[in-house]
Amino acid sequence: MPTGVPERSRARVFGPHPGAPHAHEQVVFGADEATGLRVIVGIYSTALGPALGGTRFHPYACEDAALADVLELSRAMAYKNALAGLDHGGGKAVIIGDPATDKTEDLLLAYGRFLESLGGRYVTACDVGTYVADMDVVGRATRFATGRSEGQGGAGDSSVLTAYGVFQGMRACAAHAWGTPSLRGRTVGVAGVGKVGRHLVGHLVGDGASVLVTDVSEQALDAVRRDQPAVTVAASTQELVAADLDVYSPCALGHALTDEVVRVLRATVVCGGANNQLAHPAVAAALVGRGILYAPDYCVNAGGVIQVADELRGFSFERARAKASGIFDTTARVLALAEEEGVAPVVAADRLAERRMTAAAGA
């Protein structure tokens, strides 16, 4: 094709579906025979601005599985961006393939040309299977890639502000639960001390909390022990969850909050950086039933998307950090609304996000 846009690109518009305040605006399929690129971009909404969300590179078993994932992920990004106060709609891309073997420079460039053909309706960043260095390559072929390296004018690693935002969310939970935002004297259990968890531990220790950590990686634990010798290490997540915690902070993979975890958890607050913490929707009500205050994951872990959104304006760490500080107020609003309306905080968070999207769509 003369423009270099992958062949077999087609757009599909979906009608409204139950439970969604808006339909997906657009779902675009792209492929490039020469490089093996197969991609689906989901644009849930552009009411607040260009759709923003990462690119997941994953060996999906089939196209239907990839489509289901991109529809869910792009919808979730719309809620996260709206609640974070960003002027961005929600979008996501999935590339079907094994990032270890299928990710080549040519494929990423073809992907960049594909994104360019969407004219900025969707802006991408990193997600599972894609990294800052990949966005540097994609960004050579499109204006619509963010989350690039500092050397390329980008903001670099987003985990610094993600952790900072989680810390602000946790302070808001502390204020709600105990009347003071300080975590001094509280015991916080952090499960997963990778990029986000490790930075979070630094904030917690700095605030005077006692911190218990766990990770399946000895390397990750060694790095935390080196940074913060005062932390205690639990042998497993099961051991950490059952400990006498004030706050449990899931910072590893999704589905940390299962029925079993909620049953044994002794913490008053759950607030962590991991995405998709609820193993299934009913866990939100189970947490309320046990009197545990759960800060919705997508509310408190928005620091990363705040950072990549800022990069689009020419990155200013201070400006992005100031915006991420707003996670304190947003979390406080979510918890207050939950109490006022007698619903779980996840429901309150969804309502606040929906109000903003609906107001923008009607404007």
Q: Which of 115, 247, 274, 288 binds ligand NAD (CB under 6 A)?
A: 274
What residues does 125 pair with on adjacent strands?
A: 54
Stretch that binds ligand NAD, among 178-186, 214-222, 259-267, 319-327 (CB under 6 A): 214-222
237 sits near ligand NAD (criterion: CB under 6 A): yes
Where are the alpha helices (H) located in 146-291, listed in sequence order?
159-178, 195-206, 218-227, 237-242, 259-264, 283-289
Window 312-341: residues binding ligand NAD (CB under 6 A): none
Min dist. Cβ of residue 235 to ligand NAD (A): 11
253 sits near ligand NAD (criterion: CB under 6 A): yes
What residues does 124 pair with on adjacent strands?
A: 53, 145
Stretch that binds ligand NAD, among 4-12, 15-23, 211-219, 316-324 (CB under 6 A): 211-219
Min dist. Cβ of residue 117 to ligand NAD (A): 28
Q: Which of 241, 175, 184, 183 is nearest to 212 (CA)?
A: 241
247 sits near ligand NAD (criterion: CB under 6 A): no
Judge whether 303 and 196 are in contact, CB under 8 Å.
no
Window 161-200: residues binding ligand NAD (CB under 6 A): 162, 191-197
**Residue 8 CB coordination number (10 Å):** 10
- Beta strands 210-214 and 187-191, pairing class: parallel
Q: Which of 42, 169, 296, 304 binds ligand NAD (CB under 6 A)?
A: 304
149 sits near ligand NAD (criterion: CB under 6 A): no
Q: Which of 92, 103, 195, 323 is catalytic?
A: 92
Q: Distance (Å, rounded) from C-alpha 202 to C-alpha 354?
A: 34
| Residue pointed to by tokens 């915006």 | 323
92 catalytic, yes or no? yes
- Beta strands 26-32 and 10-12, pairing class: antiparallel
Q: What's the distance, Cα to Cα, between the start and end of the chain in Å?
A: 38
Min dist. Cβ of residue 29 to ligand NAD (A): 25
Q: What is the dihedral of CA 339, 275, 222, 148, to 10 degrees?
A: -120
The residue of the chain with the least Cβ separation from ligand NAD equals 194
Q: Which of 32, 134, 215, 350 binds ligand NAD (CB under 6 A)?
A: 215
Judged by CB, which is closer to ligand NAD: 73, or 357?
73
**Residue 217 CB coordination number (10 Å):** 12
252 sits near ligand NAD (criterion: CB under 6 A): yes
Catalogue the active-site residues: 92
Interacting residue ranges for ligand NAD, rule: CB under 6 A: 158-159, 162, 191-197, 214-217, 220, 237, 251-253, 273-275, 301, 304
